[in-house]
Amino acid sequence: MVGNKATATAVKLARVQVASAFPVTPQTTITEYLSDMVANGELDAEFVNVEGELSSHVVVQAASRVGARTFVCTSGPGQLYMHHPMHQTSDNRLPVVMATVHRGNKGMMPDHTDLMSQLWTGWMQFYVEHNQEALDTCLMSYKIAEDERVRLPIAFGYDGYVLSYTAEPVEIPDQKDVDDWLPPYKAMPSILPDEVLPENLGGRWDRSDPQKRWQEHHEAIVNAKDVIVEVNESYGKKFGRSYGNGLTEEYRTEGAEAVLVAMGSLTGTARAAIDRLRDDGLNVGLVKLRCFLPFPKEDFQEIGKKVGAIGMIDRNVCLGHGGAAYTQIRNAIYDLEERPSVLEFIAGMGGKEVRVDDIYKIGKKTLKAAKSGGVSTSTEWV
């Protein structure tokens, strides 16, 4: 099953009630799968064909507010176009779920700059490795986003072409099991005329402390980590699949002197490189950074205590700053008494091919830094 079909299947299993999207390569086929499902009566939902991504976003935002479970999806330029209302969706604490089929901001090919450009919109962000994880993460996203302790929107991203149009074996959960696990969604507070609270009539809100909204929003995202861990565990129990602790997933890290960190489909390539490094007697492990927002700071502090160096492979760059995950990891380990080196590698930008061999070399370099310490902080473009 191709990645876009896996996502559309998850949308159907979640019994989404209102979906909207505007076609953009490489997300397009999701809109076609969903249209087919609605046209054939497999999915009892309103699928709204709109005139652009901004409208698709506002359609699901408004539908979520009245109490419908919603889905929206996009890629690259479409993601940038819908930036404006993304702030409103999260500010109103609406549990919209969005799939971002990565397409970079320079050209058609994938990197993570589309979704990374939304870091300040107050959405939670997941980056997934393969098509099975896309389906599973989509279902988990509804459970996390709609949890009363969270009530925030989630975007999960997967690399365009590499996953969107590539078939992989995908196990599909039974509808009945999903129905048992994922209860129906209810809006809160309600804006139906017969349910709205009198103090909310007229759309008035408390403006006495404008900063409080920011603080509460920030804390809600940070605190969502516990719910993410919980949902990952319960998904594992119900469906037999889970991903590390839900935030990060370790691969062959036992006794590792150094670890590499990867996101999205590059993780698969990195797994093969780690196998080769281990075969050659080099103690390098791998960490998949799955949940980027909220950032799993504590996970990296634990890892940082055990290894001499961390090599971050970012498939994004905040121009003038550097890789977004690299910056966060260095921030996280700063609190440790003994800090590992953190190396920055930027790879796969604009769809540039990354081979097992490339990551093998990154692994060797990171291991060397673990042994010698004091590496240069300059960025390496792979």
Instruction: Output 59 or 227, the one with its CB closest to another protein.
Output: 59
Footprint of another protein on residues 12-31 (CB under 8 A)? 17-18, 20
Of 23, 35, 38, 68, the one binding another protein (CB under 8 A) is 68
**Contact between 240 and another protein (CB under 8 A)?**
no
Token pair for residue 379? 């960025």
Footprint of another protein on residues 303-362 (CB under 8 A)? none
The continuous run of DSSP H or E covering 5 comes out as helix 3-13
Q: How far is the CB of 187 from another protein (least distance, A)?
A: 9
C-alpha to C-alpha distance for 247 and 249, rounded to whole angstroms: 7
**Contact between 196 and another protein (CB under 8 A)?**
yes
Q: Going by DSSP bridges, is the β-strand pair 258-262/46-49 parallel, antiparallel, or unpaired?
A: unpaired
Q: How far is the CB of 296 from another protein (least distance, A)?
A: 31
C-alpha to C-alpha distance for 185 and 71, rounded to whole angstroms: 13
**Contact between 58 and another protein (CB under 8 A)?**
yes
Q: Report the C-alpha dihedral over residues 259, 261, 266, 269, rounded to 10 degrees.
A: 10
Q: How far is the CB of 44 from another protein (least distance, A)?
A: 9
**Contact between 52 and another protein (CB under 8 A)?**
yes
Q: How far is the CB of 45 from another protein (least distance, A)?
A: 7
Instruction: Output 176 or 205, the one with its CB closest to another protein.
Output: 205
Q: Report the C-alpha dihedral over residues 266, 292, 246, 254, rounded to 10 degrees.
A: 60
Instruction: Specify whether the CB–CB gap between 50 and 59 falls below 8 A.
Output: yes
The residue type of 2 is V
Residue range at the interface with another protein (CB under 8 A); choices 81-89, 123-131, 238-246, 314-322: 81-89
**Contact between 183 and another protein (CB under 8 A)?**
no
Residue range at the interface with another protein (CB under 8 A); choices 64-72, 149-157, 307-315, 368-376: 64-72
Residue range at the interface with another protein (CB under 8 A); choices 29-37, 118-126, 136-144, 199-207: 199-207
Q: Of 241, 35, 278, whose CA–CA distance to 138 is shortest?
A: 241
C-alpha to C-alpha distance for 88 and 101, rounded to whole angstroms: 22
Of 11, 14, 30, 59, the one binding another protein (CB under 8 A) is 59
Residue found under tokens 């087919």 = 36
Of 41, 169, 202, 255, the one binding another protein (CB under 8 A) is 202
Q: How far is the CB of 232 from another protein (least distance, A)?
A: 29
C-alpha to C-alpha distance for 371 and 23, rounded to whole angstroms: 50
Residue range at the interface with another protein (CB under 8 A); choices 120-128, 162-170, 202-210, 248-256: 202-210
Beta-bridge mates of residue 155: 98, 125
Of 42, 49, 233, 334, the one binding another protein (CB under 8 A) is 49
Residue 20 makes CB contacts below 8 A (sequence gap 6+) with 47, 48, 49, 50, 55, 56, 57, 59, 60, 63, 70, 72
Instruction: Specify whether the CB–CB gap between 112 and 264 falls below 8 A.
Output: yes
Footprint of another protein on residues 89-148 (CB under 8 A)? 92
Instruction: Output 68 or 229, the one with its CB closest to another protein.
Output: 68
Instruction: Output 58 or 343, the one with its CB closest to another protein.
Output: 58
Instruction: Output 191 or 272, the one with its CB closest to another protein.
Output: 191
C-alpha to C-alpha distance for 191 and 187, rounded to whole angstroms: 8
Of 39, 84, 174, 373, the one binding another protein (CB under 8 A) is 84
Instruction: Specify whether the CB–CB gap between 136 and 239 falls below 8 A.
Output: yes
C-alpha to C-alpha distance for 58 and 73, rounded to whole angstroms: 12
Q: Which residues bind another protein (CB under 8 A)?
A: 17-18, 20, 45-46, 48-52, 54-68, 70, 84-85, 88, 92, 191-194, 196, 200-204
